[in-house]
């Protein structure tokens, strides 16, 4: 039976590094209103006697829009996502403003409702879009570039140990 200890260690390190860097990017970029996306940025590593399973789990629906960005009707980004006819939901921005403790004001400086604020932000994002943050893509790409060499070496050592074990060399 193959005991993929080193391979598992390399994949575990890869997952931890990507997770840590993505979370750091969310915090530094001030994209941590409720903490939901931060907390849901995880990875899963399962190893069996003859298989590996590795995946990242970002459970918040909007993570990809924040990572890759969304083109607005007036401002365009290099992204597969764009607003065309439907605006983002205003209620999301109402909730965000409340979580952040923002006291919305109108053009004349008077306090306005969270509902009005939500609609104003939704309209602005509809036009200007969401600038790509690459909070997840960059750490993944950077760590993935390091992965092949480390993974090949670790897997080779695991196979060598397996051969030694099966031939009773150890």
Tell me: the pLDDT tens digits for 2-26? 456 677 888 899 899 999 999 999 9
Whether the predicted pLDDT of 122 surpasses 90? yes
Q: Assess whether 79 and 104 both reside in one domain.
A: yes
Q: Assess whether 95 and 17 both reside in one domain.
A: no
Of 9, 86, 93, nearest to 47 by C-alpha is 9
Distance of CA 49 to the CA centre of its chain: 30
The percentage of residues in the chain with a pLDDT greater than 70, rounded to a whole number, is 82
Question: How far is residue 84's CA from residue 90's CA, in Å, rounded to a whole number?
Answer: 16
Q: Are 158 and 2 in contact (CB under 8 A)?
A: yes
CA geometry: angle at 38 spanning 26 and 104, to 5°?
70
Whether the predicted pLDDT of 147 surpasses 50? yes
Whether the predicted pLDDT of 137 surpasses 80? yes
Q: Are 104 and 113 in contact (CB under 8 A)?
A: yes
Whether the predicted pLDDT of 84 surpasses 80? yes
Q: Assess whether 75 and 119 both reside in one domain.
A: yes
Q: Assess whether 146 and 115 both reside in one domain.
A: no
Average pLDDT of the chain to the nearest whole number: 83
The tens digit of pLDDT for each residue in 39-60 reads: 989 999 887 766 677 888 888 8
Distances (CA, A) of 40 to 44, 46, 88, 100, 101: 12, 18, 22, 20, 23
- pLDDT class of 166 with cuts at 50, 70, 90: very low
Domain limits for position 74:
70-131
The number of distinct structural domains making up the chain is 2
Tokens describing residue 146: 């390091």
Q: Assess whether 143 and 63 both reside in one domain.
A: yes
Place of tokens 């952040």: 100
- Phi, psi for 100 (deg, rounded to 5): -85, -10
């Amino acid at each position: 039976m193959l005991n993929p200890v080193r391979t598992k260690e390399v994949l575990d390190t890869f997952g931890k590094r990507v997770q840590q860097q993505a979370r750091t990017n969310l915090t530094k970029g001030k994209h941590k209103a409720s903490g939901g996306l931060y907390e849901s940025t995880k990875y899963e590593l399962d190893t069996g006697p003859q298989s590996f399973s590795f995946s990242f789990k970002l459970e918040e629906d909007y993570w990809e829009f924040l990572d890759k960005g969304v083109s607005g009707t007036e401002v365009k980004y290099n992204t597969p996502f764009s607003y065309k006819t439907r605006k983002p939901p205003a209620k999301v921005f109402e909730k965000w403003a409340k979580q952040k403790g923002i006291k919305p004001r109108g053009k004349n400086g008077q306090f306005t409702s969270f509902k009005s604020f939500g609609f104003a932000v939704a309209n602005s994002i509809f036009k200007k879009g969401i600038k790509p943050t690459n909070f997840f893509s960059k750490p993944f790409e950077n760590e993935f570039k390091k992965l092949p060499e480390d993974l090949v070496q670790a897997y080779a050592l695991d196979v060598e140990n397996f051969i030694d074990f099966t031939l009773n060399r150890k």
